[in-house]
Amino acid sequence: MSTSFNQGVLALEDGSVFRGRAFGAARTISGECVFNTSMSGYQEILTDPSYFGQVVTMTAVQVGNYGINDEDAEDDMLRVSGFVVRELSPIVSNWRSHMSVDAYLKRYSIPGLDGVDTRAITKKLRVAGSMRCCLSTFGIGDDEALAIARVSQDMAGSDYVKFVSCKEPYLWRSDAPENYNQAYMPVGTTMNAPAIPGKKFRVAAFDYGAKHTIFRKLVRHGFEVQVFPATATAEQVREHGPDAVFLSNGPGDPAALPYIHKTVGALLGEFPIFGICLGHQIITHALGGTTFKLKFGHRGGNQPVKNLETGRVSITAQNHGFATDPKSVEAGGAIVTEINLNDGTVEGLRHTRLPVFSVQYHPEAAPGPNDADPLFVDFYRMVEARKAGKI
């Protein structure tokens, strides 16, 4: 691995400066500094569109030992703004690997920083909260880096969905599992084509920054997936004639998306709806509820969640910096079904009259545990019951 050992810098808005070894692209960027507690799955993290605008610090001591492959990417490009690690593995060893993390970041012009005290960074973010930052691998001084950090865009109030959503509708192909990066095809005259053989229900999936594994999971659980951009209208969805609607994950502040709230609000009651992560927060707003920014968010594959209806505790994968105000959704007819056992925040909602439910975490588990995989089965059964006139 030909890693560069030029000096790089991470500056936080509170005045903290961390110097380390630069890798990846030679760039100076700004964003929100956050941390992720996953022990593996760094490629899925790097390509997760929910990290748009953020510099991710990994709490795992060493990153990069199994390299990068063509199958594990969650998008067609890297979506983090920058990447910070304690130790970038000098050796890449895995039969699936095609390149190193250093080469991967260089390919997509993303800067990285190695050899810094990620424990100190994480402790600082837990105490003070997520902070605006500057990451430079371009040789700038501390004062300049701090100045850039302090004028960078705040995540609160930011619409980042417009940067990561698809531009046109397309049909997610279920017949090309060997190459997930090519597992889609544009929609032309196929918009109203018959369902793919063996797939019983058609779902209109809003792409707010969706991870590829979510669509793969929907296909595996009996859905034909028609993907729509975040700007699609309710009428465009109706023209497709779906059996259900799915709302994906995505970056930024859910309160900054009134055009999406309006669309989803218009679809409530017409179709069974399942939302995850940002999609969960969108349902909150569509029901007239509100969200708020968490101090440092939930990012990692080890978040404990309790289902209040069954008493079951699941370990979940999460990546979000905002949460639902539980009291705000009551007037809209929803109840809280799940909570985070670390801080008591809302992790799930269910409408009491409509076939609508959502979770704050990532049931597709990429990366993370598979405890929440049955939610896709629950969605299928909800659609099946609706089609049978039972709900």
Band (pLDDT 50/70/90 cuts) for residue 188 is very low
Sheet of 201-207, strands arranged across:
184-186, 170-172, 223-229, 201-207, 244-247, 273-276, 356-359, 346-351, 334-340, 291-307, 313-324
- State both tokens at 107: 């390919």
- State both tokens at 51: 């990290």
Q: What is the pLDDT, as a whole number, of residue 391?
A: 85
Q: What is the pLDDT, as a whole number, of residue 173?
A: 79
Q: What is the pLDDT, as a whole number, of residue 199?
A: 59
pTM, to two decimals: 0.92
- State both tokens at 97: 């690997």
User: Is residue 139 scored above 90 in pLDDT?
Assistant: no
CA angle 219, 221, 227 (to 5 degrees): 35
What stretch of H or E contains 107?
helix 101-107
Percentage of the chain modeled with pLDDT above 70: 92
Per the model's pLDDT, the better-predicted residue between 138 and 103 turns out to be 103
Active site residues: 277, 362, 364
Measured CA to CA, the distance from residue 206 to residue 232 in angstroms comes to 8
Q: What is the pLDDT, as a whole number, of residue 388?
A: 86
Structural domains for the chain: 7-150 (3.50.30.20), 161-387 (3.40.50.880)
pLDDT tens profile 24-53: 999 999 999 999 999 999 999 999 999 999
Residue corresponding to tokens 């079951």: 312
User: Is residue 193 scored above 50 in pLDDT?
Assistant: no
Measured CA to CA, the distance from residue 18 to residue 20 in angstroms comes to 7
User: Is residue 361 scored above 90 in pLDDT?
Assistant: yes
Q: What is the pLDDT, as a whole number, of residue 42?
A: 98
User: Is residue 4 scored above 70 in pLDDT?
Assistant: no
**Local structure of 71: helix, strand or coil:** coil
User: Is residue 85 scored above 70 in pLDDT?
Assistant: yes
> Residue 374: which of 312, 291, 301, 325 has the closest Cα?
312
> Residue 376: which of 390, 359, 391, 389 has the closest Cα?
359
**Mean pLDDT, the chain, integer:** 92
> Average pLDDT, stretch 294-308?
97
Q: What is the pLDDT, as a whole number, of residue 198?
A: 56
> Average pLDDT, stretch 203-222?
96
Band (pLDDT 50/70/90 cuts) for residue 181 is very low
For residue 363, cis peptide bond before it (omega within 30 degrees of 0): no
Q: Which residues neighbour 53 within 8 Å (Cβ) at sequence distance 6 or greater?
A: 31, 32, 81, 153, 155, 158, 160, 251, 252
User: Is residue 180 scored above 60 in pLDDT?
Assistant: no
pLDDT tens profile 87-123: 999 999 999 999 999 999 999 999 999 999 999 999 9
Q: What is the pLDDT, as a whole number, of residue 185?
A: 36
